[in-house]
C-alpha cells in the first residue's frame, strides 16, 4: 500500500531537484555574462517549443527573487503557416498572467516561394524570423532579447562551424547583433537539452511542433547532434568537457595570427642563434 506514495514522493523530489538545477544554471549564466541588468526590458522569444517555454518559466521564477528589477514580455512570431494553432500561446500566456505580443507576418509564403521543394528551409526561415523580432524589439524599447538556445545547441554550432566552415566559433551566451542595435542573451547556455525536455514534460507545456520543413531530420545539425549523443554514451561527461573548453581558450596554442602575434614571438637570444645554426646545417631544431 505504501509503494505508490513512495513513488510519488520520489517523483516530486526529482522534479524539484531538476527545477532547482535549471534555476541555478540560468542564474549562474546570467551572473557570469551580466545578461540582465537593473531596469532591463527583456523580450523572451517564444516559439512554442520546449526550450523557449522552459526559458520563460525559469526567468519568471527568478524574476521574483532577483537582486535587480527587470521586465519580461513574451513575443511570438505567427508566420502564417497553415494549420498553426494560433490560440495555444495566447491562452497559455494569458493563463500565466504574462505580458505578451504576437507578431503576425507571413514569412511562410516567402520561404515556400523562394526555397525549392525538398530543400531545407530553416536558414531563410530563421533570417526572416530574426528580422521581424529584431524590428519589433527596436520599436518597443527592448533592451535584451532572450533566446532559448541551450548548451547542446552551442556545442552543435561549434562543430558545424568547424566541420563545414573551417572556423572555430560557436553561439556565445551573450552578443551584440550585427547592426549594433540589440543585445542577445542565451540564459539556458549552461543547461542540457535532456534536462529541458524532462522539465517541459513535467510542466506539461503545450508544445507546438515545428513541422514547416519535412527534411529537417537530414540537416547537418541533426547529424552533429547524433555524433554528440554517441560520444556521450561512449564517454559520459565528454560534452561537458568540450563546453568548458569553449570558456578556456589559449590563443597562443592555436594558429590564428590575428588572435595572437606569433610574428613578434622570439626565443631567447642564445637559443635563437643555436636554432639558426641547426637550420643552416640542414637539421631543423627539435620542437618543444
Spatial distance between the Cα atoms of 3 and 215, rounded to a whole number of angstroms: 45
Q: In sequence order, which residues have a C-beta less than 8 Å from that of residue 252 and are 6 or more positions away?
A: 260, 265
The Cβ of residue 210 has, within 10 Å, a number of other Cβ atoms equal to: 13
Picking from 192, 197, 174, 196, the residue whose alpha carbon sits closest to that of residue 228 is 192
Question: Is residue 210 a known part of a binding site?
Answer: no
Residue 122 marked as a ligand binder:
yes
Query: Under 8 Å CB-to-CB from 219, ≥6 apart: which residues?
Result: 120, 122
Question: Which residues, including other chains, have CB under 8 Å from residue 160's CB and lie 6 or more apart?
Answer: 220, 221, 224
Grid cell at residue 164: 563545414
Helix (H) or strand (E) holding 39: none
Known binding site for [4Fe-4S] cluster: residues? 122, 125, 213
Bind-site residues: 122, 125, 213
Amino acid at each position: 500500500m505504501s509503494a505508490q506514495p513512495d513513488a510519488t514522493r520520489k517523483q516530486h523530489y526529482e522534479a524539484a531537484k531538476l527545477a532547482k538545477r535549471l534555476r541555478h544554471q540560468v542564474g549562474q549564466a546570467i551572473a557570469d555574462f551580466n545578461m540582465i541588468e537593473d531596469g532591463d526590458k527583456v523580450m523572451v522569444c517564444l516559439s512554442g517549443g520546449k526550450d523557449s517555454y522552459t526559458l520563460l518559466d525559469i526567468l519568471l521564477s527568478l524574476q521574483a527573487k532577483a537582486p535587480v528589477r527587470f521586465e519580461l514580455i513574451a513575443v511570438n512570431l505567427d508566420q502564417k503557416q497553415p494549420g498553426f494553432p494560433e490560440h495555444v500561446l495566447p491562452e497559455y500566456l494569458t493563463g500565466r498572467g504574462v505580458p505578451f505580443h504576437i507578431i503576425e507576418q507571413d514569412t511562410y509564403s516567402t520561404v515556400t516561394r523562394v526555397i525549392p521543394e525538398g530543400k531545407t528551409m530553416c536558414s531563410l526561415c530563421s533570417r526572416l524570423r530574426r528580422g521581424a523580432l529584431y524590428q519589433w524589439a527596436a520599436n518597443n524599447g527592448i533592451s535584451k532579447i532572450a533566446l532559448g538556445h541551450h548548451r547542446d545547441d552551442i556545442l552543435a554550432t561549434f562543430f558545424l562551424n568547424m566541420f563545414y566552415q573551417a572556423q572555430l566559433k560557436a553561439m556565445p551566451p551573450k552578443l551584440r547583433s550585427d547592426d549594433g542595435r540589440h543585445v542577445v542573451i542565451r540564459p539556458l547556455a549552461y543547461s542540457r537539452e535532456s534536462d529541458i525536455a524532462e522539465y517541459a514534460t513535467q510542466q506539461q507545456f503545450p508544445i507546438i511542433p515545428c513541422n514547416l520543413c519535412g527534411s529537417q531530420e537530414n540537416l547537418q545539425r541533426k547529424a552533429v547532434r547524433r555524433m554528440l549523443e554517441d560520444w556521450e554514451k561512449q564517454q559520459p561527461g565528454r560534452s561537458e568537457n568540450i563546453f568548458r573548453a569553449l570558456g578556456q581558450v589559449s590563443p597562443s596554442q592555436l594558429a590564428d595570427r590575428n588572435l595572437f602575434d606569433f610574428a613578434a614571438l622570439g626565443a631567447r637570444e642564445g637559443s635563437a642563434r643555436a636554432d639558426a645554426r641547426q637550420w643552416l646545417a640542414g637539421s631543423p631544431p627539435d620542437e618543444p
